[in-house]
Amino acid sequence: MTATRPNTSGTNEEHFQSHYIPSTMDEQAAMLAALGIDSIDQLFTDIPDEFRNPILNLPAPLSELEIQQGLGQMAGKNRPLSSGPSFLGAGSYHHFIPSIVKALITRGEFLTAYTPYQAEASQGTLQVIYEFQTLICNLYGMEVANAGMYDGATSLAEATLMACRVTKREKVVLADTISPAYIDVIRTYCQSQDIAVEVVDPSNPALDNETACLVLQYPNYYGYIEDQKKLVDAAHAQGALAVVSCDPTAMGMLQTPGHYGADIVTGDGQPLGIPTSYGGPYVGLFAAKQEFIRQMPSRLSGRTLDKNGKTGYVLTLQTREQHIRRERATSNICTNEALYALAATIYLAALGKQGMRQVAELCYHKAHYAAAQIGQLPGYSLPINGPFFQEFVVQCPASPTEINKKLMDRNILGGLDVSEKVPNGMLLCVTEMNSKEDIDALVAALSEIK
């Protein structure tokens, strides 16, 4: 159907044709009259004029062939992780992905699946979600998990809000060793709800009876393993919840957050069969104790029996409620990253317990080999004491930015500059993808860079 609407140039006299706006000019006039205004522009008067109708300096149009060629040239400037050694981590990790993951998630029935509201037509998708939830519970040592969140940051932010609902308190305390990006997202979530956010040194968290939760990362952003039992107990002593963002790969060899009594555990599922992909999309992991299940965000898939005694899967507790409850909703995230939840499920099923343990041990031992070698180099040191998993901080004799440029000249992707934590600090990550030759090449390159 062809319809028209007023332009936004400041007049209501000129119109353009559109096949996508299902309202006639008369219908638009009636709506404007009901609102008591004369033009659509009046809806946007709060926006300054210089931003309302900016002049767009756009290039001339291109053909499809020219666009493909241009994008191909731009993509050619990227450095694939497979082109040389990479020691960059800090939340996005280069792990091996078995070929079965892509082979299955790109099947048509999975790739094009819609939200599984109609259980009778979505048994396969619902079963995958149920299996995903089960695996995350096993991985984190928790009692119940949801169908997934957007990513690790939103999972952790939603967990802080959930802790405030459970405890009926309005202050959250964050360890300063969690990801700075996660801290920013938590602040964004909390500011509109008047929830106070405090960032503290985890060695002295200074909790009180107004604290809703203590938020930790395990291993922390800098790769190190803090005393989880001591910190969880400190939170519980004040009636607060312990919220932990946890690297799922580390669970192949470390004790689970559930073992230490954590109340809510989140994480990013990227290490579980998902490529780094320039930072996303990923899948957020979210698990909790059974007693808090009705305060959990997102949706849960449950397993039941039909009237004939056959196993069936359904969305339970939260299906469309988040859409309609508005301010009473437990979360604004009412969907889930189903395709990447499937990828994580396939990855975990393909590796199994022994495979996950092997990956974790490879990361651990290779990282410690690298740290030992770098720590012996003149001018380099390991400034943070304590156990670590696959990441560690190196204090360099010069700016990490300059060192990384020289490493790139040798086709080595170095670590992240964390000079705000440690002067000339570089956060290095070593995974199972790094061979001994890769690590030795990094050590040799660093020894040459003064």
* Domain boundaries, given as residue ranges, for the chain: 3-52, 85-95+354-448, 99-346
Given pLDDT bands bounded at 50, 70 and 90, which one contains residue 218? Answer: very high
Cβ-based neighbours of 344, under 8 Å, separated by 6 or more? 132, 135, 269, 272, 273, 274, 283
* pLDDT number for residue 321: 54
Tell me which fold the domain 85-95+354-448 belongs to.
Aspartate Aminotransferase, domain 1 (3.90.1150)
> What is the mean predicted confidence (pLDDT) over 278-299?
93
Q: List the structure tokens of 382.
A: 């390991």
User: Contact 164/212 with Cβ under 8 angstroms?
Assistant: yes
Cβ-based neighbours of 436, under 8 Å, separated by 6 or more? 366, 369
**Is CATH 1.10.150.530 the right assignment for the domain spanning 99-346?**
no
Q: Is 19 exposed, middle or buried (0-12, 13-18, 19+ CB in 10 A)?
A: exposed
Residue labelled with tokens 């290779």: 366
| pLDDT tens-digit series, residues 86-124 | 999 999 999 999 999 999 999 988 876 666 777 777 888
Given pLDDT bands bounded at 50, 70 and 90, which one contains residue 24? Answer: confident
How far apart (Å, rounded) are the C-alpha atoms in residues 132 and 274? 14
User: Contact 410/86 with Cβ under 8 angstroms?
Assistant: no
Strand pairing category for 213-218 and 241-246: parallel
* pLDDT number for residue 323: 59
User: Contact 404/412 with Cβ under 8 angstroms?
Assistant: no
Average the pLDDT over each of 71-80, 314-323, 377-386 and give the range with the smallest value. Answer: 314-323
State how far the alpha carbon of 156 is from the alpha carbons of 21, 362, 370, 382, in Å.
39, 27, 31, 29
* pLDDT number for residue 20: 60
Q: pTM of the prediction? A: 0.85
Q: Is the per-residue pLDDT at 278 higher than 80?
A: yes
Average the pLDDT over each of 115-129, 399-413, 420-434 and give the range with the smallest value. Answer: 115-129
Percentage of the chain beyond pLDDT 90 is 74
Percentage of the chain beyond pLDDT 70 is 92
Q: List the structure tokens of 293.
A: 């299940």
* pLDDT number for residue 113: 61
Q: Is the per-residue pLDDT at 330 higher than 80?
A: no
* Residue (of 433, 144, 75, 405) closest to 286 by Cα position: 144
Q: Residue 391: helix, strand or coil by DSSP?
A: strand
Q: List the structure tokens of 240.
A: 């607060």
User: Contact 318/178 with Cβ under 8 angstroms?
Assistant: no
Looking only at Cα atoms, what is the longest distance across the chain?
A: 79
Separation of CA 217 from chain center: 13
| pLDDT tens-digit series, residues 256-277 | 999 999 999 999 999 999 999 9
Q: List the structure tokens of 120.
A: 């009778």
Separation of CA 99 from chain center: 23
* pLDDT number for residue 9: 44
